[in-house]
Structure 1
Amino acid sequence: IREVGIALRRIGDELDSDEGLQDLLSRVTPDSPKNTFFSVAKEIFRDGVFNWGRVVALFYFAYKMIIKAIMCGLSTLPLLRGIVEWVVQFITDHVASWIISRGGWEAIQEYFGATSLQLIAVASGVVLCLAYVVWRKNR
C-alpha cells in the first residue's frame, strides 16, 4: 500500500505542476460547470491517445472541480453528485471501450505496479476522504 501511496502522490504532484492541466482547471466557471467539465475531459483525450495516466488525469480534474466547488461555497450535494455522474458518463461514452480492451479496471495495475487489493484499499481511502470532506462541509 505504501508503494501505491507513493505512486499516487507522485502522480498528483506531476498533475499539480502540469501547466496545461492547470490551465484547463482555471476554465471551470460556476455558471457552466457541466459544459466546462465535458470540454476539459474531451481536451484531455483530444488527440485520441488513451492511457492510464490520462484516465487518472480525468479523475484528478473531477477531484479538483469538487475541491474548487467546496472552496467557493458551491458544494451543494446536487453539484457534487453531478460531477460524479459526468465522470461516469464520460468514461462510459469515451473511455470504457479502451479500458475493456486493456483488460478492464484491473489492468490499471500495469500503471501502478500494484495488486488489486492495494488498488481497492487506495480507492476506498480516497472515497472515504472525499465523503468526510463533503460531510464536514455540509454540517
Structure 2
Amino acid sequence: MASQAGGGNKGTAKDLEETENLLKDFIYQRSQRNGDGNTTVTREQLGGGAPCDPIHKKLGKCLQKVGDELDGNVKYKSLINDPSLKPTKETFIRVATAVFSDGKFNWGRVVTLFCFAYHLVIKALENRVPDIIKTIIRWTMDYFQEHVIQWIRAQGGWEAVWSYFGTPTWQVVGVLLAGILTGFLVVRQSKAQ
C-alpha cells in the first residue's frame, strides 16, 4: 500500500497510521521474541491490535530482521544496556535528533528509531513504569510526524523498505552503524554533562 506523492494531509494521516501500526507491531513482536515475563509488552499496553494486512505482516518481518542485525551490534548493546539510560523524552529526542543530525534519511536510520523506541519500552518495564509505554509511542510518532513522514512518503511509502534492505548485508550494517554510533555518542555526551 504505497502512498502516492502529494495527497495532502489525507495521505500523511494514512502514512502516520501505517507507521504507528508498524511501530507497535515491531515493539510487540520483539518483546515476544526477546522478553522474559517481566519485559514482555502486551498489545493493550501499546494501544493497538495485531496487523491484519498481509503486507504489514511482511513488512513487520523485514523490519524484525533489520532489528536483529542492529541488536547484534556491540556498541548498540552497550548503549541500550547502560543502567543510566532512562526512558525519558529528553533521551529519546537526543538520540532521534542525533540519528538524523546530518540531515540524511534512510531506512536504516528509520528502523534504528523503531529499535530505540522498543528498548525504551523495555527500560520502562524494567523500571516498573509501564504507564509510560503509550507515551514513548507518542514521542516516537510525534518525531516521525515532524521529521520523517514526508521522507517516507517521498520514497513511495513503507513498501520501499524492501528494495532498500535487498542490498548486501554489509551495506545495511554500515548504514545502521552510522545511526547507532551517533546515538551512542549523544547519550554518552549527555551523561558527561
Calculate the TM-score normalised by the size of structure 1: 0.64
2:158 aligned with 1:101:
no
Which is worse superposed, 102-111 or 17-26?
17-26
Identity %: 42
Tell me: CA distance 1:42–1:3, structure 2 relative to 1, closer, same or farther (3 Å): closer
Work out the CA distance in 1 between the residues paired with 2:60 and 2:118: 18
The counterpart of 1:37, out of the listed 82, 92, 109, is: 92
Give the partner amino acid of 1:82. Answer: T
Superposed displacement of residue 74, structure 1: 1.5
Residues 83-107 of structure 1, C-alpha deviations (whole Å, 9 max, x = no match):
0111111111111121111112232
Tell me: CA distance 1:48–1:22, structure 2 relative to 1, closer, same or farther (3 Å): farther
What is the aligned partner in structure 1 of residue 141 from structure 2? 88
2:127 aligned with 1:72:
yes
C-alpha RMSD of the superposition? 2.6
Superposed displacement of residue 18, structure 1: 2.7
What is the aligned partner in structure 2 of residue 58 from structure 1? 113
Structure with larger RCO (C-alpha < 8 A, sep 6+): 2
Superposed displacement of residue 19, structure 1: 4.0
Q: Which has the larger share of helix?
A: 1
What is the aligned partner in structure 2 of residue 119 from structure 1? none
Superposed displacement of residue 75, structure 1: 1.1
Ranges in structure 2 where 5+ consecutive residues have no aligned partner? 1-56, 167-193
Calculate the TM-score normalised by the size of structure 2: 0.48
Work out the CA distance in 1 between the residues paired with 2:135 and 2:164: 28
Give the partner amino acid of 1:85. Answer: R
Contact map agreement 1:28 1:37 (CA 8 A) in 2: no
Ranges in structure 1 where 5+ consecutive residues have no aligned partner? 114-139
Work out the CA distance in 1 between the residues paired with 2:135 and 2:79: 19
